[in-house]
Amino acid sequence: TPWAAGGAKPLSSRELWTILLGRSALRELNQIEAELNKHWQRLLEGLSYYKPPSPNSAEKVKANKDVASPLKELGLRISKFLGLDEEQSVQLLQCYLQEDYRGTRDSLKVCSYVQLLSPAFSHFPCWF
């Protein structure tokens, strides 16, 4: 790898996404543009991972006994809202709740799914 050969450490998906959101030390548009250009293929591949909704995927979510009903319902609503595969929407939601959600269970109950979506978008590249 380039890093092992003395090159720069590769960016994690989270680091890259933080730069693109303008939340890193790189604030100048030309710096952000350079990172986007440097990692364009990686971003494209990561976003291409996501599929459109499908009845088969929705049925798999509904039949999955390992996912709590409220999480299934919220995942299905997010799927409709974003036009994403139902299973991937639940995975995206689980990833966000596990890694970044800072509220309580009670606050999650009253939180609308739209409020969850903004920070959850930072997980779009979490699989590449």
Domain ranges of the chain: 13-48, 55-123
Range with the poorest average pLDDT among 16-30, 45-59, 75-89: 16-30
Q: Which 3 state secondary structure label does DSSP give 13?
A: helix
pLDDT number for residue 116: 59
Distance CA 35, CA 23 (A): 13
127 compared with 119, residue with greater pLDDT:
119
Instruction: Provide the terminal-to-terminal Cα distance of the chain, rounded to the nearest Å.
Output: 17
Enter the tokens of residue 39.
Answer: 């990692």
Examine the pLDDT at 25 and tell me if it is beyond 70. Answer: yes
Examine the pLDDT at 127 and tell me if it is beyond 50. Answer: no
Contact 50, 43 (CB under 8 A): no
pLDDT number for residue 2: 45
pLDDT number for residue 45: 85
pLDDT number for residue 128: 35
Examine the pLDDT at 1 and tell me if it is beyond 50. Answer: no
User: 42 pLDDT band (50/70/90 cuts)?
Assistant: confident
